[in-house]
A and B are shown apart, each in its own frame.
Chain A
Amino acid sequence: MVRKLFLTLAAAASALAISGAAWADITVLVPSGSEGDGLRAAAADYAKMKGTKVETVQAPYANVFEQGANAGATKSGVFDIILMDDPWIPFFAENGHLEDLTPYFKNAGLEGPDNDFLSKSLAICRNPYNSGPYVCLPYVGNAQMFFYDAAKYKEAGVDAPKTWDDVLKASKKLTEDGGGRYFGYVFRGGQGNPVVADFMPIFWSYGADLFNADRSKVTIDTPEGAAAMKMFMALRDVSPKGVESYNANEVGTALAAGTSASSINWPNWVATFEDPSQSKMVGKISYTAIPAGTKPGSSEIGHWTMGIMSASKNKQEAFDFMLWATSPEQIKISAERGNPPVRTSVFTDPELTKQEKFRHYPVLMEAIQASTPRPRHPKWPEIENAFGIELSKAVAGTITPEEALKNAQAAVEQITGLK
Chain B
Amino acid sequence: MLKSADDGTLTAQSQPGGGLERWVERHLRYVMLAPTVLILLALTIFPSLYMFYAAVHRISPNPDLPWEFVGLGNFARLLSDAQFHVALRNTVVFTVVAVTVEFLLGLGLALLLDKFIRRLSFLKTVLMIPMMLPPIAVAITWKLIYEPQFGVLNEIMYRLGLPLQAWAGDVNLAMFSIIVADVWQWTPFIFLLMLAGLASLPVEPYEAAALDGASSWRQFWDLTLPFLKPVIAIALLLRVMDALRLFDLVFILTGGGPADRTKVLSLYIYQVAYRFADPGYAAAISLFVLFVTIVFSTWFMKRMRLAD
Determine if A96 and B64 form an interchain contact, defined as CB atoms under 8 angstroms apart.
yes
Determine if A244 and B166 form an interchain contact, defined as CB atoms under 8 angstroms apart.
yes
Is B119's CB within 8 Å of the partner chain A?
A: no
Determine if B258 and A244 form an interchain contact, defined as CB atoms under 8 angstroms apart.
yes
Determine if B271 and A385 form an interchain contact, defined as CB atoms under 8 angstroms apart.
yes
Is B116's CB within 8 Å of the partner chain A?
A: no
Determine if A241 and B275 form an interchain contact, defined as CB atoms under 8 angstroms apart.
no
Chain B, 165-185, contact with A by CB distance < 8 Å: what is the 0/1 string?
111111100100000000000
Contacts of A389 in B (CB 8 A): 83, 257, 259-260
Contacts of A243 in B (CB 8 A): 166, 169
Contacts A241-B166, A242-B148, A382-B275 given: A69-B258 contact, CB under 8 Å?
no
Contacts A191-B258, A385-B271 given: A253-B61 contact, CB under 8 Å?
no
Complex alpha-carbon distance, A96 and B169, angstroms:
39
Is A334's CB within 8 Å of the partner chain B?
A: no
Complex alpha-carbon distance, A382 and B171, angstroms:
23
Stretch with Cβ within 8 A of B (4 or more), from A30-38, A218-226, A282-290, A395-403: A395-403
The DSSP consensus for interface residues of chain B is loop
Stretch with Cβ within 8 A of B (4 or more), from A47-55, A72-80, A142-150: A72-80
Complex alpha-carbon distance, A62 and B270, angstroms:
11
Determine if A396 and B259 form an interchain contact, defined as CB atoms under 8 angstroms apart.
yes
Complex alpha-carbon distance, A133 and B67, angstroms:
28
Complex alpha-carbon distance, A97 and B67, angstroms:
17
Contacts of A191 in B (CB 8 A): 254-260
Is B276's CB within 8 Å of the partner chain A?
A: yes
Is B60's CB within 8 Å of the partner chain A?
A: yes
Determine if A392 and B258 form an interchain contact, defined as CB atoms under 8 angstroms apart.
yes
Q: Which of B149, B164, B259 is in CB contact (< 8 Å) with A398?
A: B259
Is B105's CB within 8 Å of the partner chain A?
A: no
CB under 8 Å from chain A, chain B span 217-255: 254-255
Determine if A241 and B257 form an interchain contact, defined as CB atoms under 8 angstroms apart.
no
Contacts of B150 in A (CB 8 A): 253, 257
Determine if B276 and A381 form an interchain contact, defined as CB atoms under 8 angstroms apart.
yes
Complex alpha-carbon distance, A77 and B305, angstroms:
53
Contacts of A240 in B (CB 8 A): 148-149, 166
Is A324's CB within 8 Å of the partner chain B?
A: no
Contacts of A3 in B (CB 8 A): 67
B80's nearest neighbour on chain A, judged by CB, is A414
Determine if A180 and B164 form an interchain contact, defined as CB atoms under 8 angstroms apart.
yes
Is A2's CB within 8 Å of the partner chain B?
A: yes
Determine if A244 and B171 form an interchain contact, defined as CB atoms under 8 angstroms apart.
yes
Contacts A95-B60, A381-B276 given: A6-B166 contact, CB under 8 Å?
no
A136 CB to closest chain B CB, in angstroms?
18
B178 CB to closest chain A CB, in angstroms?
12
Complex alpha-carbon distance, A189 and B259, angstroms:
10
B54's nearest neighbour on chain A, judged by CB, is A6
CB under 8 Å from chain A, chain B span 262-279: 271, 274-277
Is B299's CB within 8 Å of the partner chain A?
A: no
Complex alpha-carbon distance, A246 and B148, angstroms:
10
Complex alpha-carbon distance, A3 and B164, angstroms:
54
Question: Which bracket fits the contact residues of A?
Answer: 35 or more
Is B50's CB within 8 Å of the partner chain A?
A: yes
CB under 8 Å from chain B, chain A span 68-102: 69-70, 72-75, 91, 94-97
B86's nearest neighbour on chain A, judged by CB, is A389
Determine if B50 and A246 form an interchain contact, defined as CB atoms under 8 angstroms apart.
no
Is A65's CB within 8 Å of the partner chain B?
A: yes
Is B291's CB within 8 Å of the partner chain A?
A: no
Is A245's CB within 8 Å of the partner chain B?
A: yes
Determine if B258 and A91 form an interchain contact, defined as CB atoms under 8 angstroms apart.
no
Determine if B164 and A241 form an interchain contact, defined as CB atoms under 8 angstroms apart.
yes
Contacts of B63 in A (CB 8 A): 7, 72-75, 96
Contacts A3-B67, A91-B277 given: A242-B169 contact, CB under 8 Å?
yes
Is A393's CB within 8 Å of the partner chain B?
A: yes
A35 CB to closest chain B CB, in angstroms?
20
Complex alpha-carbon distance, A259 and B169, angstroms:
18
Is B288's CB within 8 Å of the partner chain A?
A: no
Contacts of B296 in A (CB 8 A): none
Contacts of B200 in A (CB 8 A): none
Determine if B274 and A241 form an interchain contact, defined as CB atoms under 8 angstroms apart.
no
Complex alpha-carbon distance, A381 and B258, angstroms:
18
B279's nearest neighbour on chain A, judged by CB, is A73
Is A336's CB within 8 Å of the partner chain B?
A: no
Complex alpha-carbon distance, A245 and B174, angstroms:
9
Chain A, 219-263, contact with B by CB distance < 8 Å: what is the 0/1 string?
000000000000000000000111111110010011001010000
B224 CB to closest chain A CB, in angstroms?
43
Chain A, 160-189, contact with B by CB distance < 8 Å: what is the 0/1 string?
000000000000000000001000000001
Contacts of A242 in B (CB 8 A): 148, 165-170
Contacts A69-B61, A72-B61 given: A396-B171 contact, CB under 8 Å?
yes
Is B9's CB within 8 Å of the partner chain A?
A: no
B16 CB to closest chain A CB, in angstroms?
43
Contacts A72-B63, A382-B276 given: A398-B171 contact, CB under 8 Å?
yes
Contacts of B69 in A (CB 8 A): none
B152 CB to closest chain A CB, in angstroms?
15
Determine if A244 and B259 form an interchain contact, defined as CB atoms under 8 angstroms apart.
yes
Is A297's CB within 8 Å of the partner chain B?
A: no
Contacts of B261 in A (CB 8 A): 396, 398
Complex alpha-carbon distance, A3 and B174, angstroms:
41
Contacts of B171 in A (CB 8 A): 244, 396-398
Contacts of A91 in B (CB 8 A): 61, 277
B57 CB to closest chain A CB, in angstroms?
9
A–B Cβ pairs within 8 angstroms, 28 of them = A2-B50, A3-B67, A7-B63, A91-B61, A95-B277, A96-B62, A97-B61, A190-B258, A191-B256, A191-B257, A240-B148, A240-B166, A241-B165, A241-B169, A242-B168, A245-B258, A253-B149, A379-B276, A381-B275, A381-B276, A382-B275, A382-B276, A385-B275, A389-B83, A395-B258, A396-B171, A398-B171, A398-B261
- Nearest 7 pairs of A and B residues by beta carbon: A242-B166, A191-B257, A245-B169, A242-B169, A242-B148, A393-B259, A244-B258
Apart from A189-B258, A244-B257, A379-B276, what are 10 other A-B pairs with CB-CB below 8 Å? Answer: A65-B275, A94-B62, A97-B61, A189-B169, A190-B257, A190-B258, A242-B169, A245-B254, A245-B258, A399-B259
Interface residues of A (CB under 8 A from B): 2-3, 6-7, 62, 65-66, 69-70, 72-75, 91, 94-97, 180, 189-192, 240-247, 250, 253-254, 257, 259, 379, 381-382, 385, 389, 392-393, 395-399
